[in-house]
Amino acid sequence: MRIISFNANGIRAAGRKGFFVWLARQRADLVCIQETKAQEYQLREPLYYPRPFHCFYHDAEKKGYSGVAIYSRQQPDRVIMGLDWPEFDREGRYIEVQLGRLSVVSLYLPSGSSSELRQQVKFEVMDRLMPHFRSLRRRRREYVLCGDWNIAHKKIDIRNWRGNQKNSGFLPEERAWMDRLFGSAGFVDAFRVVDPRPEQYTWWSNRGQAWARNVGWRIDYQVVTPGLRERVRAARIYKDRRFSDHAPLILDYDWP
């Protein structure tokens, strides 16, 4: 089972840069997209409903903002749009498909980099998500939580860790929250199961020469329940072409 997670930074822009041409060759079973930045009525072209996938979009109310999607090769048993949190769901940040006893989620956590107000929103979302994640562990299902979490967990996940300790995305409170996610909450960072190397980044600022110099952050994850830990087979970050300021994160699992 191959799952791709990708922050498109505008799905129409990523499409113009060749994302869907690339995707057609990837043999993916599920594709989780964040930051579609489009309303579904604006995506009428067949390009945005690639075969052989069943395609589902959850848009933000605000045009040109946020939005998540999932493409599933198999018809899901159920599709869940949002978490019944009006202020969160209005921003189009959570979509889940259920396939047998497996759930796959496309999740887009808020960024706090634009203002102190948005950082507080981010903290509030984190506070509400943790009990939700813990509740998932009590269900008789396996979960793959894909997406842009907007947090670099450890020093090896960010190039300039010393200079970013007071910046959103690498704040001590954010990293401690990730510690709990991968600690007491019991979830697993699937990428790190098979790739412990430093400097494996998924996002690069458009400022300066960040991409050319590989001054990046690893903020895109596939977070899985413990039952999937031993089923992770391979992981890679696709960097041969750029479709966005993020790179696609590709994980292979031993799952029927």
Q: What is the pLDDT of residues 51-94, one digit of tens each?
A: 999 999 999 999 999 999 999 999 999 999 999 999 999 999 99
Pairwise CA distance, residues 214 & 56, whole Å: 33
Give pLDDT, residue 45: 96
Q: What is the pTM (predicted TM-score) of this model? A: 0.97
Of the candidates 59, 148, 157, 220, the residue annotated as catalytic is 148
Give pLDDT, residue 256: 86
Query: Tell me: the pLDDT tens digits for 23-57?
Result: 999 999 999 999 999 999 999 999 999 999 999 99
Residue 33 DSSP one-character state = E
Range of the domain at 125: 2-253
Give pLDDT, residue 90: 97
Structurally, how many domains does the chain consist of? 1
% of the chain residues with pLDDT over 70? 100
DSSP 73-131: SSPPSEEEES-S-HHHHTT--EEEEEETTEEEEEEEPPP-SS-HHHHHHHHHHHHHHHH
Averaged confidence pLDDT in the chain: 97
The domain that holds 217 is classified in CATH as 3.60.10.10
Average pLDDT of 99-106?
98
Query: Tell me: the pLDDT tens digits for 199-221?
Result: 999 999 998 899 999 999 999 99
% of the chain residues with pLDDT over 90? 99
Q: Can you say whether residue 190 is alpha, beta or left, with left for phi > 0 and alpha for psi between -120 and 50 degrees?
A: alpha
Q: Is residue 148 annotated as part of the catalytic site, yes or no?
A: yes
Pairwise CA distance, residues 201 & 7, whole Å: 13
